[in-house]
Structure 1
Amino acid sequence: MKYYIIAGEASGDLHGANLMKEIFKEDENANIRFWGGDLMNAVGGELVSHYKERAFMGFVEVILNLRKIFGFIKFCKEDILKFNPDVIIFIDNSGFNLRVAKWAKEEGFKTSYYISPQVWASRASRVEAIKRDVDSMYVILPFEKPFYEKYDYEVTFVGHPLIDGIAGRDQVDEKSFREQYQLGNKEIIALLPGSRKQEIKKMLATMLQMVDKFPNYQFVVAGAPSQTEEFYQSFLSEKNVKFINNKTYDLLSVAKAALVTSGTATLETALFKVPQVVCYKGSWLSYQIAKRIITLQYISLVNLIMDKEVVTELIQNDFTVANLEQELQKILDETHREKLFLDYFELEKKLGGKGASAKTAKSIVNSLI
């Protein structure tokens, strides 16, 4: 069978790679063509476009790059027609994927969506378009299934793929890890400033203000695979901070606490049972627009899934040096940490068991037989 997969961003590349591995197990003759990244490319198939070419963040940047984005969409449609797949699989990346899905359905292609667009966060009216354009939706957050049921749309909850990714990794020997990266003996505070240049620039400068305020800890920046080490070094030259590229899971496994830019990383940090402060600051205009269309009480996945404030969120004007110092001090306090650990264990239970990618792949392949 022929599969056309469209993923964007580092997280989409990760989940796409795991899904592809499972598709190849279910269909050893699978012919996969995809939009993704290095992880998907390492699995096999044929890469059409790397997500780095389409990394536009925030309302303003998207508007400024509309011509380029529509050019990618046009090319994608043409490429799908040439390949003529048995199924198109969309992974998150709603701004791009929902436009292609509408066209694909009109052209008569079978459509599946793995990792739902965040229609529960804003513009719920998009559910009607999803019902029309997506044959099968596979969701990874427990509250998404009842959300879609309100709109009379049956979806499949498969559990969260991060459970598999974290459970299946090799355990890190902390002594060797510290020696390899010259981390010394101080307890580690991990800094996860995001994966896109714009957000890293906005987040990392404030995060680094904590270094001098907590001299008894070793701060380590987790580099994203989408950026070069040279890019990060411009922020780190005058600070006693270590930089480790593309080893976020290893770093979290030995960290005492973390400062994390809102996104998938907040959930990853929680699954490693690392106390965290969630941070986010966008451009003034993007924030004003988002504030008017996003209907959620929280922005971190941890708090959304638990439906209460488990981790502190410092958003926009609240993301200040003074607030960050205060909240970091809290998560280093043992009493606060004990309560947080209990909530983290409850969170993991809510996410379901292992096998999200395998369940999704099996269902998609079986639907083609």
Structure 2
Amino acid sequence: MKYYIITGEASGDLHASNLMKELKNEDTQAEFRFWGGDLMQAQGGEMVKHYRETAFMGFVTVLKNLKTIRANFTLCETDLLAFAPDVLILVDYPGFNLRMAAFAKKHGIRVHYYISPKIWAWKESRVKKIKAHVDRMFTIFPFETEFYKKHNYEVSFGGNPLLDAIEDRDNKDESFDHFAERNQLSQKPIIALLAGSRKQEIERILPVMLQVVDRFPDYQFVVAAAPSITKEFYASVSKGSKLSFVYNQTYDLLQQSKAALVASGTATLETALLRIPQVVCYLTGGGKLLFTIGKRLLKVKYISLVNLVMDKLIVKELIQHTCNKEMITEELNQILFKEDYRSEMLHNYQLLNEHLGGAGASARFAKMIYNDLQR
């Protein structure tokens, strides 16, 4: 069968690549064409555009790039019809993907949504578009299933594919000494910095994270560099701060770290599943007014997936005005040096792992997708 897949960021590239691997096990004749990244490319098929060319975040940035965005829509529509897939598989990325769902539905192409947009937190009205244009929705969190049930829309939950990615990761038995040597790091314990995958969020969050570097001289700070971001860009943002960078080694880095500062998003869940105590740091653009408006529109109590899944405060969330040098320092001291505090967070991580249903999700989703197409 022919599969057309669209994702617009690094986490989508990861999950889609694992799905592709499992689809090949189900369907030996699988053909792929996609918008994605290097991990998807490694599974074979034809890449139309890399997500680094399509990742526009924030109202102002979108306005500045409207011409490019419109051109991407036109290209995708034309390319989709030319490929004539058996199914269009959409991975999160709702601003682009919901429009493509409507286009595909109009032209008789079956639409599967793998990894729901976060409409339970923002723009709940989008559920109407999903019900109208998406044939099957596959969810990765239990609370998403409950959300859609409230809207009388049946979905399929198969567990969380992050557990597969973490279980199957390379170098999971690597020693600290070997990791440090191959990345030219010192022997100091590591505090990992996960500042996001888009330029706009890195520009906002990384400089704030770096303010605490001098307060922890016995540690080395290492950035998990996003694969689509150049070293020159990081250098311009970090402005001579004492830190190191590693590319395409987020899991390796976290595994060797004592603690992490993490921008809200999938990375908070990855950090928790790798059992690394963390501080969640979140800053929006647009100043205090836009933040206040946005906060009123949010439908959830927490911004980190760790806390959302467990429906309680497991990791500290430093948001906007609380995301500052003093608060980050205070929380880092807690998770590094207060054993009871650290142990409780690690215990809650174990409960989180159990709540998400264990490994094997990618294979379960691939089987559901293939069986649906067979019918």
After TM superposition, the score normalised by the length of structure 1 is 0.96
Structure 2 equivalent of residue 30 of structure 1: 30
Aligned-pair CA distance for 1:293 = 2.2
3-state secondary structure, aligned to 1:100:
helix
Structure 2 equivalent of residue 309 of structure 1: 313
Structure 2 equivalent of residue 248 of structure 1: 250
Structure 1 equivalent of residue 209 of structure 2: 207
> Is the 8 Å Cα contact of residues 6 and 91 (structure 2) preserved in structure 1?
yes
Aligned-pair CA distance for 1:7 = 0.9
> Is the 8 Å Cα contact of residues 177 and 187 (structure 2) preserved in structure 1?
no
The equivalences for 1:12-161 within 5 A come to 12-161=12-161
Aligned-pair CA distance for 1:103 = 1.7
Structure 1 equivalent of residue 6 of structure 2: 6
Structure 2 equivalent of residue 340 of structure 1: 345
Instruction: Answer with 173-182 or 307-316: which moved more.
Output: 173-182
User: Within 2, Cα distance between the matches of 1:315 and 1:361?
Assistant: 37
Residue 302 of structure 2, aligned match among 298, 312, 323:
298
Residues 197 and 150 of structure 1: CA distance in aligned 2, closer, same or farther (over 3 Å): same
For residues 154-184 of structure 1, give each alpha carbon's deviation from its aligned partner in whole angstroms, at most 9, with x where no partner exists.
Answer: 1111111110011112322222112222333
3-state secondary structure, aligned to 1:19:
helix
Counterpart amino acid of residue 234 in structure 1: S
Counterpart amino acid of residue 363 in structure 1: M
Structure 2 equivalent of residue 197 of structure 1: 199
Structure 1 unmatched runs, 5+: none
Coordinate RMSD, CA, aligned: 1.4
> Is the 8 Å Cα contact of residues 5 and 89 (structure 2) preserved in structure 1?
yes
Instruction: Answer with 254-263 or 350-359: which moved more.
Output: 350-359
The equivalences for 1:211-226 within 5 A come to 211-226=213-228
Counterpart amino acid of residue 345 in structure 1: Q
Identity %: 55
Aligned-pair CA distance for 1:24 = 1.2
Structure 2 unmatched runs, 5+: none
Question: How many pairs are equivalent?
Answer: 369
Aligned-pair CA distance for 1:288 = 4.4
Structure 2 equivalent of residue 261 of structure 1: 263
> Is the 8 Å Cα contact of residues 206 and 238 (structure 2) preserved in structure 1?
no
3-state secondary structure, aligned to 2:148:
helix
> Is the 8 Å Cα contact of residues 229 and 245 (structure 1) preserved in structure 2?
no
User: Within 1, Cα distance between the matches of 2:49 and 2:16?
Assistant: 14
User: Within 2, Cα distance between the matches of 1:131 and 1:228?
Assistant: 39
Counterpart amino acid of residue 341 in structure 1: L
3-state secondary structure, aligned to 1:219:
strand
Counterpart amino acid of residue 319 in structure 2: I
Counterpart amino acid of residue 185 in structure 2: L
> Is the 8 Å Cα contact of residues 207 and 238 (structure 2) preserved in structure 1?
no
3-state secondary structure, aligned to 1:195:
coil
Aligned-pair CA distance for 1:233 = 2.4
3-state secondary structure, aligned to 2:262:
strand
User: Within 1, Cα distance between the matches of 2:245 and 2:331?
Assistant: 23
User: Within 1, Cα distance between the matches of 2:285 and 2:252?
Assistant: 31
> Is the 8 Å Cα contact of residues 141 and 159 (structure 1) preserved in structure 2?
yes
Structure 1 equivalent of residue 285 of structure 2: 283
Aligned-pair CA distance for 1:367 = 1.7
Aligned-pair CA distance for 1:237 = 5.6
User: Within 2, Cα distance between the matches of 1:70 and 1:17?
Assistant: 26
For residues 6-36 of structure 1, give each alpha carbon's deviation from its aligned partner in whole angstroms, at most 9, with x where no partner exists.
Answer: 1110111111111111111111111111111
> Is the 8 Å Cα contact of residues 189 and 257 (structure 1) preserved in structure 2?
yes
